A and B are shown apart, each in its own frame.
Chain A
Amino acid sequence: MVVFLGLPLAIFIIFVISPFVQAAYYSLTDWSGFSQTMNFIGVQNYIKLFQDGQFLTAMGNNIFLAIVVPLITLSLALLFATLITVGGPSHGQTRGLQGSSFYRVVSFFPYVIPGIIIGLMWAQIFGPEGLINGFLQMFGLDMFESFPWLGDERTAMAVSVFVIIWGFVGFYMVLFIASIKGIPGEIFEAVRLDGAGRFRTAISITIPLIRDNIQTAYIYVGIMALDAFVYMAALNPNGGPANSTLVMSQYLFEMAFSQGKFGYASSMGVVLAVITLIFAAIVFTVNRLAGGKDDGGRR
């Protein structure tokens, strides 16, 4: 028994837990990584961090992503999942649209493609000579002849958000399909007899019943959006025009491995971790508040 538990636990503690603890300590030092000296400087790194314009930009971008990406991803996923499961004809048995299994398979495609490939593929598609511009020109929009979608401050972030969502909708769609299928069919039949339309059914039956799944999904997507490293690294390795797509993880990576400011980078890691926890706490709280109200209404 000791071996059973000991070996995995040892690996876990050495490679996962101990780095977390060390990072928390490094964040309080001025360590550059390769120097012998490591001075304890207290919270100075953190003070510097919140005066560092570039970091604040990155943090703002992350927070933007954490709000926008889950909202759009999950709304689309819910919409598609509803169409596939109960969006079919409004007479007869409750079922999905025709060909729904085909859509389900296809929509899941992006999830199996590595994030870096998704990024690289779309970077070309949105490139000056890419598919999108070709398309727009076809409709006579010649100003897009070689418009750099990712190189323009106004569009870079929107494009990045789109790419991330493209990669994630399918997975959550499948997840929601599974949870909607877990709802007894009689409920849908009953609502239909009561004369509720599809939209009404989705809002007042489906969403409340799978609320916990939505909460879990929201936290997953949010954590992913707070990271976003792989997509941003593929789309705009240097943070995009005027740092418009720079995220904390990219800045952390650059500070640590290009500039050797390991102490400073570690303090960013701590901030990122704290923001992640706060984010999860907010989602939990919102769900509980909304849930409480809902339960009252149903009674």
Chain B
Amino acid sequence: MLILWSIIVVVPMLWTLMTSFKTTREIFASPFSLPAEWNFDNYVSAWTEYDIGGMFLNTVLVVGSALIIVMVLGAMCAYVLARFTFPGSKAIYYLMLAGLTFPIFLAIVPLFFILRNMGLLNTLPGLTLTYVAFALPFTVFFLFAFFKGLPDEIQEAAYVDGAGEWRTFFQVMLPMAKPGMASVAIFNFLGLWNQFLLPIALNTDKSKYVLSQGMASFASSAGYAVNFGALFAAVIITITPVLIVYVIFQRQLQGSVSQGTMK
């Protein structure tokens, strides 16, 4: 069973890899034949002609900055909610819970106009900000449990030693939450890298495309006029970095899966 499943997982990927070296004519000739020559033409044309390079850069920019912002804001928010009780703190917590359960689809139409009114439609900062907003509830929930578990004494000791609230948080509490932060960061990274709906609705300027939407438009742009070799090459370009990161960090990642959902 497991062997069969591994084959079902691996073979399509290997096939995609092999096909990415073929010319379009070879692709249509036979699905199994090896490419006549192993050249990187498809990769070159995907990267330059179809601007995979530019989209790659956009994706890295948006996902990178959204990830940093959401981790900092999420940690601050979770910290306050977990360690201080004040009127309305429960209400805020439940509001976040609501944000996690409702489908993004319900929000997408008004979101379009909110961004337009702010002049952020079709801009990378606009997209980043939306990413942050929608990754926030998950981040807060996960870290909430984490901050809740930290001992009170340390926070008190920091106050006694004269650290202000900012210093207590950034120099004492945040470093202690490191393992939790790492898990959430991995999840958020995958989630944001794979985000598809938000960019196609809110980011329709071709020069600002991120990879996921670029791939979709690439595949559907011209039906059979699609340069399939380049499409397969683009697929490989998109998944290789993630797979490499995965293979290196797979232990942490699988650890964080269990940690993240056992709560």
* A residues lining the B interface (CB < 8 Å): 1, 4-5, 7-9, 11-20, 22-24, 26, 33, 76, 79-80, 83-84, 97, 100, 102-117, 120-125, 129-131, 133-135, 138, 166, 169-171, 174-175, 177-179, 182, 213, 216-217, 223, 226-227, 229-230, 233-234, 237, 248-249, 252-253, 256-257, 262, 265-266, 269-270, 272-273, 276-277, 280
Contact = CB atoms under 8 A, between A and B. Distances in A.
B116 to A, nearest CB: 10
A174 B257 CA distance: 7
A114 B105 contact: no
A5 B220 CA distance: 43
Given A5-B76, A8-B77, A15-B133, 17 more contacts: A8-B73, A15-B111, A16-B99, A103-B5, A109-B13, A113-B243, A114-B196, A116-B216, A174-B258, A178-B262, A179-B258, A230-B197, A252-B108, A256-B108, A256-B112, A257-B201, A266-B110
Contact of A14 (B13, B31, B114, B137): B114
A18 B114 contact: yes
Contacts of B193: 114
A1 to B, nearest CB: 6
A65 to B, nearest CB: 14
A140 B10 CA distance: 24
A272 B2 contact: no
Contacts of B211: 114
Interface stretch (B78-86, B155-163, B177-185): B78-86
Contacts of A249: 103, 105, 197
A62 to B, nearest CB: 11
22 contacts: A7-B73, A11-B133, A15-B129, A16-B134, A19-B114, A20-B98, A20-B102, A22-B110, A23-B107, A33-B113, A83-B2, A107-B2, A112-B245, A124-B19, A130-B31, A166-B8, A182-B262, A230-B194, A237-B220, A252-B105, A257-B112, A269-B109
Nearest to B257: A174
Contacts, number: 256
Size category, B interface: 35 or more
A129 B98 contact: no
A277 B101 contact: yes
A19 B201 contact: no
Contacts of B73: 7-8, 11
B42 interface: no
A221 to B, nearest CB: 12
B215 A107 contact: no
Q: Interface on chain B toward A: helix, strand, loop, or mixed SS?
A: helix
Interface string B203-226: 000000001110110011000000
Interface in B54-112: 73-74, 76-77, 79-81, 84, 92, 95-96, 98-99, 101-103, 105-112
Given A125-B12, A175-B257, A120 B235 contact: yes
Interface of B: 1-2, 5-6, 8-13, 15-16, 19, 27-28, 30-32, 73-74, 76-77, 79-81, 84, 92, 95-96, 98-99, 101-103, 105-114, 129-130, 132-134, 136-137, 140, 165, 169, 190, 193-194, 196-197, 201, 211-213, 215-216, 219-220, 228, 231-232, 235, 238-239, 242-243, 245-247, 250, 253-254, 257-258, 261-262
Q: Which 3 A-B pairs have the closest CB atoms?
A: A178-B258, A15-B133, A134-B31
Contacts of A105: 247, 250
B103 A226 contact: yes
A184 B139 CA distance: 30
B109 A26 contact: yes
Nearest to A266: B109
A228 to B, nearest CB: 11
Contact of B257 (A102, A131, A171, A226): A171
Given A114-B194, A115-B196, A97 B107 contact: no
B212 A116 contact: yes
Contacts of A102: 6
Chain A CB within 10 Å, residue with most, of B74, B232, B254: B254
